[in-house]
């Protein structure tokens, strides 16, 4: 694919993964429109921090996924759509499930309707490994049963099923990508790795929830590369594809690794408020990534140690944006 000929829309472009994806697409030469949720400060998230030679090439659109007219206007002439805009925090979904239904289901429906009307070339719908719930088998392949063990995962399953129905009913060119845990620069403190790193750098204690769970962690540039490879691959339309390293690590071992890399001496404290309900907790997530490798040739390149070092350095230089030790959902 020649990205220099492509008009591309990224929803959720001001967020963690979305900002990295937007930046890379601009570097590839794409004509990029970034959809950012409208706010009173007219702030476009991490796009604000881009170098001028990158930021000046991006069309910023402030809108709302819940507003169908807004979505129709922004899809417009764009032909490749990366739909990353979503409510994403599992703990927050326990508190405000309605907002997850509104954004993740209705917002996705609006994107699908707009894409149907505008004859797009490709819609890449970013989903999550959380849709698998507590796995019956590990590593997890794409045929695994889907389980709505949190309001967040339930809404992402619904979004997937809507996309699947539009592919079957209207021949909409859509591919569903289930991304396993992502980390790296710009990630908020609601995620486990920045939470651990900020506390380790403070040097007092590390407050966490369940330390026995395992996750498949992926550096953000690997995920971005995977999303782009999916968009470039013509034979993935209608498919569901995992993007993950195929490796897992327990939160306990992850904490010990971060303590070592930061040369800190912290006590690990388990706090009950950070622990999910037993029926909602997902103890293991590890990708079977053979389908992704076979279809696109993608594979992860950044080791966990190298990715953590990059993330630690970035957080050190941006520690003022984090409230160390405060539990964020």
- 231, 295 Cβ separation under 8 angstroms: no
Assigned domain for 295 exists: no
Q: Which helix (H) or strand (E) holds 293?
A: helix 290-296
Phi, psi of 81 (to 5 degrees): -115, 125
Give pLDDT, residue 205: 86
Give pLDDT, residue 18: 98
Give pLDDT, residue 328: 67
Assigned domain for 290 exists: no
Assigned domain for 328 exists: no
CB count in 10 Å sphere of residue 122? 23
User: What CATH number does the domain containing 314 carry?
Assistant: 3.90.25.10
DSSP, collapsed to helix, strand or coil, labels residue 281 as coil
CB count in 10 Å sphere of residue 32? 27
In angstroms, rounded to a whole number, what is the distance separating the alpha carbons of residues 246 and 230? Answer: 18
Report strand pairing: 174-179 vs 240-243. Answer: parallel
Residues 6+ apart with CB under 8 A from 181: 129, 192, 215, 216, 217, 218, 285
Distances (CA, A) of 46 to 15, 36, 126, 184, 248: 6, 10, 19, 13, 29
Q: Are residues 260 and 118 in the same domain?
A: no
Q: Are residues 114 and 204 in the same domain?
A: no
Assigned domain for 294 exists: no
Q: Are residues 41 and 87 in the same domain?
A: yes
Q: Are residues 122 and 239 in the same domain?
A: yes
**Domain range spanning residue 65?**
3-182+219-243
Residues 6+ apart with CB under 8 A from 317: none
Rounded average pLDDT over 97-113: 98
Query: To which residue do tokens 């971005």 refer?
Result: 224
Assigned domain for 326 exists: no
Residues with catalytic roles? 152
Total domains in the chain come to 2
Give pLDDT, residue 277: 76
Selected residue with higher pLDDT from 207 and 135: 135
Chain centroid to CA 246 = 17
Q: Are residues 150 and 164 in the same domain?
A: yes
Assigned domain for 297 exists: no
Q: Judge whether residue 316 has pLDDT over 80.
A: yes
Q: Judge whether residue 329 has pLDDT over 70.
A: no
Assigned domain for 317 exists: yes
Q: How confident is the model at residue 208 (pLDDT cuts 50, 70, 90)?
A: confident
| Tens digits of residue pLDDT in 143-193 | 999 999 999 999 999 999 999 999 999 999 999 999 999 999 999 988 999
Both structure tokens of 110? 């609006």
Q: Judge whether residue 95 has pLDDT over 90.
A: yes
Q: Judge whether residue 197 has pLDDT over 90.
A: yes
Q: Are residues 189 and 54 in the same domain?
A: no
In angstroms, rounded to a whole number, what is the distance separating the alpha carbons of residues 43 and 8? Answer: 21
| Tens digits of residue pLDDT in 157-168 | 999 999 999 999
Q: Are residues 108 and 130 in the same domain?
A: yes
pTM equals 0.95
In angstroms, rounded to a whole number, what is the distance separating the alpha carbons of residues 166 and 123? Answer: 11
Q: Are residues 27 and 16 in the same domain?
A: yes
Assigned domain for 265 exists: yes
Report strand pairing: 205-208 vs 182-183. Answer: unpaired
Residue % of the chain over a pLDDT of 90: 82
CA-closest candidate to residue 325, choices 273, 254, 283, 287: 273
In angstroms, rounded to a whole number, what is the distance separating the alpha carbons of residues 144 and 29? Answer: 37
Give pLDDT, residue 162: 98
Dihedral, 165, 226, 257, 137 alpha carbons, nearest 10: 40
Q: Are residues 229 and 309 in the same domain?
A: no
User: What CATH number does the domain containing 167 carry?
Assistant: 3.40.50.720
| Tens digits of residue pLDDT in 216-233 | 999 999 999 999 999 999
Report strand pairing: 7-11 vs 267-270. Answer: unpaired
| Tens digits of residue pLDDT in 45-80 | 999 989 999 999 999 999 999 999 999 999 999 999
Angle at which helices 68-75 and 107-117 pack, to 10 degrees?
40
Q: Mean pLDDT score of the chain, rounded to an integer? A: 94
Q: Are residues 64 and 88 in the same domain?
A: yes
Q: Are residues 256 and 271 in the same domain?
A: yes
Phi, psi of 37 (to 5 degrees): -65, 130
Q: Are residues 21 and 89 in the same domain?
A: yes
In angstroms, rounded to a whole number, what is the distance separating the alpha carbons of residues 90 and 213? Answer: 15
């Amino acid at each position: 694919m020649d990205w220099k000929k492509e008009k591309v829309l990224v929803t959720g472009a001001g967020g963690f993964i979305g900002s990295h994806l937007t930046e890379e697409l601009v570097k590839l030469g794409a004509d990029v429109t970034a959809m950012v949720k409208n706010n009173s400060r007219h702030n476009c998230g991490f796009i604000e921090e881009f170098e001028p030679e990158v930021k000046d090439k991006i069309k910023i659109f402030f809108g709302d996924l819940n507003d169908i007219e807004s979505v129709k206007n922004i899809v417009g002439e764009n032909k490749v759509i990366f739909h990353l805009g979503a409510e994403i925090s599992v703990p927050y979904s326990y508190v405000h499930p309605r907002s997850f239904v509104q954004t993740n289901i209705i917002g996705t429906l609006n994107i699908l309707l707009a894409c149907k009307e505008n004859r797009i070339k490709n819609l890449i719908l970013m989903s999550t490994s959380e849709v698998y719930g507590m796995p019956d088998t590990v590593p997890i392949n794409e045929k695994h049963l889907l389980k709505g063990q949190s309001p967040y995962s339930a809404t992402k399953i619904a979004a997937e099923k809507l996309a699947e129905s539009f592919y079957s009913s209207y021949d909409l060119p859509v591919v569903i990508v289930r991304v396993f845990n992502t980390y790296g620069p710009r990630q908020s403190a609601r995620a486990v790795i920045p939470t651990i790193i900020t506390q380790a750098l403070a040097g007092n204690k590390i407050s966490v929830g369940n330390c026995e769970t395992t996750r498949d962690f992926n550096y953000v540039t690997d995920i971005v590369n995977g999303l782009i490879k999916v968009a470039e691959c013509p034979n993935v339309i209608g498919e569901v594809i995992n993007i993950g390293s195929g490796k897992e690590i327990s939160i306990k071992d992850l904490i010990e690794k971060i303590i070592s890399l930061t040369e800190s001496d912290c006590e690990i404290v388990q706090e009950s408020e950070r622990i999910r309900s037993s029926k909602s907790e997902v103890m293991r997530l590890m990708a079977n990534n053979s389908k992704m490798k076979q279809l696109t040739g993608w594979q992860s390149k950044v080791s966990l140690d190298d990715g953590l070092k990059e993330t630690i350095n970035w957080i050190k230089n941006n520690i003022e944006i984090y409230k160390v030790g405060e539990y964020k959902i």
